Structure 1
Amino acid sequence: MNRQINMDKFQLSIVEFYESRSILITGATGFMGKVLVEKILRSCPGVERLYLLMRPSKGQSVDCRLQGFIQNQIFNKVKEQQPNVMEKITAVKGDVTLPELRLSSSDLQLLIENVSIVFHSAATIRFNEELKTALEMNVKGPMRLLEICRQMKRLEALVHVSTAFSNLDREEIKEEVYYNPEVNPVKLIEYLDGLDDDVIKNMTQNLIGECPNTYIYTKGLAEQILESKCGNVPLAIIRPSIVTAAVSEPCPGWVDNMNGTTGTIAVVGKGIYRVMKINAKFLSDIIPVDYPINLMIAVAWYLATHRPTGVPVYTCTTGHRNPLTWGKLKHWTLESWKKFPSKETLWYPSVWYMNNDFLCKINQTLFHHLPAYLMDLLMLSTGKRIKWVLLYEKINKAFAPLEFFTTHHWRFISNNPIHLMEEMTTEDQEMFYFDVRKINWQNYFENYILGIRQIVFKEDLSTLPLAKRNFKRLYIVRQVFLFFVLMFLIFVFKNFFLSFIIIGPHIYFLFTELFSS
């Protein structure tokens, strides 16, 4: 009898598997979390209930936050298809940074009795977060959730979202949890618990060593602790790389924030940012958000129905299977902005990649800071509020932590997602797609820019003709400006060989800009 039940379970499709099951999701209000909730509701209509762990925020109660959450435009399509679908969502008041997640006894019992699947994506993603805060959220949070999962009577899968960058001391990163033999992560946490905040702050750099930031450091620690302490809890780890706009779902190009790569692409498209410290030959390794989301859903199904041994790790990246360099990203991004320009573009979009710190700072001063000061002086003289210097300072602060990733290179091995696809039916592979080999980068970036334009910038497609006319004017202005600057530089420095060597890269840049389409 038991064998028959197991065989029936083994043969379930992903949609059938989720039928009548309840799911707990942490981090649901984040970028990936919203896509996960939408995908489950739309593609698995038989799901019983989604419990979303939420904490009060900015004076809003959990109930108020839930109402705002379900009104998000990402759910428009699924609400049209299933008018009462949002009734399946229940907000559970809790906080991963507090003991036992600060759950009420009734909510804890509710989860213990009903939840079958847990998706944990809650984390602080600030690279420069204080170590103690990052430890509370990214390490202790998963530990606390794990202890609650042990009590769940129906638990079949715990899927933990980590990052592909959790082991950057290696050039080739395989799908396994790496341990530092010199550090016991559990004892380290216990030791740090006894220290004052200032002491931890002062010793942060020594602790993280060559790790670029506290986010990467704590994500690696969490993996080690979860694998060593999970016991009988069915656990899998998902490692996405740089998560960007969707390829297809919930709609092509869907993105709702200005973080990381999206923010950089946006300010380049506006003509605001033109000089960056990036190695154009290195892989960018971005991953569209719908790919790790589909992978998470499929991995939970596989954990529950196939019960693999150990803790499987799934690297969700593109560099191994469909490589995209930063140079190609720049090319497709600029081409897409030319096709779908923003209506409020400051300057014709262009960007100069540089590896040298000194030259990069000089050119950022020339092309970013100096124009910002001039524009603020102009605004000050006309009685308007100054903003440009502060804007560039804000952009520089946001981009600075990313420079480590744009000037280094790793090889992320991503075999397990391919093996997982082989266990899925053709229908499941199409519905819960995560084969990165099928991504067409040109089409992707066109939709990405449209997504930024429509969702982030709130610019309707009806404004596109006006934007294109403005774009043509900016192109003419740029060409005239670059021509006169080029002639001026040649005239001033034509008799100074040494100076010519110094400004040579600038002249080359101006030539390429002048004659680019």
Structure 2
Amino acid sequence: MEQLKQNQLNIVEFYVGRSILITGATGFMGKVLVEKILRSCPGVERLYLLMRPSKGQSVDCRLRGFIQNQIFNKVKEQQPNVMEKITAVKGDMTLPELGLSSSDLQLLIENVSIVFHSAATIRFNEELKTALEMNVKGPMRLLEICRQMKRLEALVHVSTAFSNLDREEIKEEVYYNPEVNPVKLIEYLDGLDDDTLKNMTPELLGECPNTYVYTKTLAEQLLETTCGAVPLAIVRPSIVTAAVSEPCPGWVDNMNGATGTIAVVGKGIYRVMKINAKFISDIIPVDYPINLMIAVAWYLATHRPTGVPVYTCTTGHRNPLTWGILSHWTLESWKKFPSKETLWYPSVWYMNNDFLCKINQTLFHHLPAYLMDLLMMVTGKRIKWVRLYEKINKAFAPLEFFTTHQWQFISNNPIHLMEEMTTEDQEMFYFDVRKINWQNYFENYILGIRRIVFKEDFNTLPLARSNLKRLFMVRQILPFILSMFLIFVFNYFFLSLFLLGPQTVIVFSEIFSL
């Protein structure tokens, strides 16, 4: 009878009176998750956020800063006391029992019924030991605490669509290497010293591009193998980008991944990239996996599916967007809403050939950077451009594997889940990627970068557009000036040879014949 009542609850009703534990709440996706739950599920009892002290700040200090984030402005207007529902618990994913005090541990065991786990190290080039601690052992420590929770109804683990990249078609299931037992592998790696593990990393990774993908794949296998009676589901988003609609169109608060690349292109700083323009980009707006996670927890608790369901949250399968089309709409949007401080007219060249890419990056990135730093040094200003390009290159290099390869991510389970939801729930907790209008999306994305990341007010647009027009004229005139300069040099060279006499011509001919 109780299960029947559960099945009849819509998502908003389901969350009434329930307490939720969220890991990774201070991250990009975590903040969107907290805001969405508070705003759309006003009946929720309490949100417990796992936080660790950071940069000399206590957990209480971090919580005060967290709740002041502008992402919560709208929900605080609607529900003035809503932030009182948030409780920070001091913890660390890399410590036994997550570093929780006995009182906090008991608090979670007695009250939590839903767990969203999104904490992870997302650095692609992280040391394997660190990545294992955070991305593999962390979820296992959390799983052990979930076993003790008296009211637990759902554990939603956030993984990545880029698990199992050894396959061209990646289905919604947990894949295993039949030659490797994930439990015994972890036991074996635990017995290695740091240097040995570091030396073995390339062999362990094999064709896997980085430690992030390797450890997220391993975590999936371990969780499915050992979850037992814990109700577990896995959500796999791809490249997470700015929001389509919520908390506001184009919301993004960092320069990580695709956003950083789009930002430096818009500033006219970066113009040559190693990307295959014909391949699917498979970005996913952040509000889509967040809504999916909330719906998955509801379905897991109310319908109790067998096994460990996997939900792939990508766009390539249902609403494909190539890197070339992404570039088109991005550049068009930057031209419509330019930044007020643009170095060069926004443009970008995609190249798949490594040699040609490096040659062009030298010509259009590094050489101008050295010239600008030289000019700044002569004028007594602080040099910055070479260092900036080195930083951008370092950030973009790990992404090249994903921009020059393509996979087919099968995404059927989100569609099946939508069929179980009411029309009202589908509208409130939307994740149907087929409805995304990419042109409108990128216009809002660029406006979000301008307003939130660059801190540029909308009233700066007239000045920005005026500057862009000047840069456009410079771009149009510059090839003509360069052509005239080359013609002048060419003519001067041969005129000099003529004036110096035939003997000089013979000498130069001999030199070039060598």
The Cα of 1:485 is off from its aligned counterpart by 3.7
State the secondary structure of the residue aligned to 1:231.
Answer: coil
2:390 partner amino acid: E
Root-mean-square deviation (Å): 1.3
Superposed, 1:381-396 pairs within 5 Å as 381-396=378-393
2:185 partner amino acid: L
Report the counterpart of residue 508 of structure 2 in structure 1.
none
Corresponding residue to 1:297 among 275, 286, 294? 294
The Cα of 1:142 is off from its aligned counterpart by 0.3
Taking the aligned partners of 1:22 and 1:409, their CA distance within structure 2 comes to 40
Report the counterpart of residue 438 of structure 2 in structure 1.
441
The Cα of 1:194 is off from its aligned counterpart by 1.2
Q: Does residue 77 in structure 1 map to residue 77 in structure 2?
A: no
Report the counterpart of residue 502 of structure 2 in structure 1.
none
Q: Does residue 468 in structure 1 map to residue 428 in structure 2?
A: no
Taking the aligned partners of 1:19 and 1:363, their CA distance within structure 2 comes to 57
Taking the aligned partners of 1:48 and 1:489, their CA distance within structure 2 comes to 73
Deviations 1:14-63 (A, max 9, x none): 00000000000000000000000000000000000000000000110000
Taking the aligned partners of 2:482 and 2:443, their CA distance within structure 1 comes to 32
Report the counterpart of residue 40 of structure 2 in structure 1.
43
Taking the aligned partners of 2:483 and 2:445, their CA distance within structure 1 comes to 34
Q: Does residue 228 in structure 1 map to residue 225 in structure 2?
A: yes
Report the counterpart of residue 508 of structure 1 in structure 2.
none
Report the counterpart of residue 404 of structure 1 in structure 2.
401
Return the TM-score normalized by structure 1: 0.94
Taking the aligned partners of 2:256 and 2:201, their CA distance within structure 1 comes to 25
Runs of 4+ in 1 over 3 A off after TM superposition: 483-493
Report the counterpart of residue 206 of structure 1 in structure 2.
203
Deviations 1:461-485 (A, max 9, x none): 0100000000100000111113334
Corresponding residue to 1:255 among 232, 240, 252? 252
Taking the aligned partners of 1:194 and 1:86, their CA distance within structure 2 comes to 44
Q: Does residue 173 in structure 1 map to residue 147 in structure 2?
A: no
Report the counterpart of residue 126 of structure 1 in structure 2.
123
Taking the aligned partners of 1:61 and 1:258, their CA distance within structure 2 comes to 25
- Where does structure 1 lack aligned partners over 5 or more consecutive residues? 494-517
Report the counterpart of residue 88 of structure 1 in structure 2.
85
The Cα of 1:186 is off from its aligned counterpart by 1.0
Report the counterpart of residue 114 of structure 1 in structure 2.
111
Report the counterpart of residue 499 of structure 1 in structure 2.
none
1:230 partner amino acid: C
The Cα of 1:492 is off from its aligned counterpart by 9.0
The Cα of 1:90 is off from its aligned counterpart by 0.1
Taking the aligned partners of 1:94 and 1:422, their CA distance within structure 2 comes to 38
- Where does structure 2 lack aligned partners over 5 or more consecutive residues? 491-514
The Cα of 1:103 is off from its aligned counterpart by 0.6
1:382 partner amino acid: T
Superposed, 1:307-386 pairs within 5 Å as 307-386=304-383
Taking the aligned partners of 2:12 and 2:259, their CA distance within structure 1 comes to 32
Deviations 1:233-289 (A, max 9, x none): 000000000000000000000000000100000000000000000000000000000
**Residues 212 and 492 (structure 1), Cα distance of their counterparts in 2 relative to 1, 3 Å cut:** farther
State the secondary structure of the residue aligned to 1:90.
Answer: strand
The Cα of 1:311 is off from its aligned counterpart by 0.2
> Kindly, what percent of the aligned residue pairs are identical?
90
The Cα of 1:436 is off from its aligned counterpart by 0.0
Corresponding residue to 1:146 among 125, 137, 143? 143
**Residues 203 and 15 (structure 1), Cα distance of their counterparts in 2 relative to 1, 3 Å cut:** same
Taking the aligned partners of 1:298 and 1:356, their CA distance within structure 2 comes to 43
2:143 partner amino acid: L
Taking the aligned partners of 1:484 and 1:207, their CA distance within structure 2 comes to 54
Taking the aligned partners of 1:416 and 1:149, their CA distance within structure 2 comes to 25
Taking the aligned partners of 2:449 and 2:284, their CA distance within structure 1 comes to 16
1:439 partner amino acid: I
Q: Does residue 238 in structure 1 map to residue 230 in structure 2?
A: no
Taking the aligned partners of 2:51 and 2:397, their CA distance within structure 1 comes to 31
**Residues 488 and 412 (structure 1), Cα distance of their counterparts in 2 relative to 1, 3 Å cut:** farther
Return the TM-score normalized by structure 2: 0.94
Taking the aligned partners of 2:433 and 2:308, their CA distance within structure 1 comes to 23
Report the counterpart of residue 23 of structure 1 in structure 2.
20
**Residues 486 and 252 (structure 1), Cα distance of their counterparts in 2 relative to 1, 3 Å cut:** farther
Report the counterpart of residue 498 of structure 1 in structure 2.
none
Q: Does residue 278 in structure 1 map to residue 275 in structure 2?
A: yes
State the secondary structure of the residue aligned to 1:360.
Answer: helix
**Residues 433 and 477 (structure 1), Cα distance of their counterparts in 2 relative to 1, 3 Å cut:** same
Aligned length: 491
Larger radius of gyration: 2
Report the counterpart of residue 500 of structure 1 in structure 2.
none
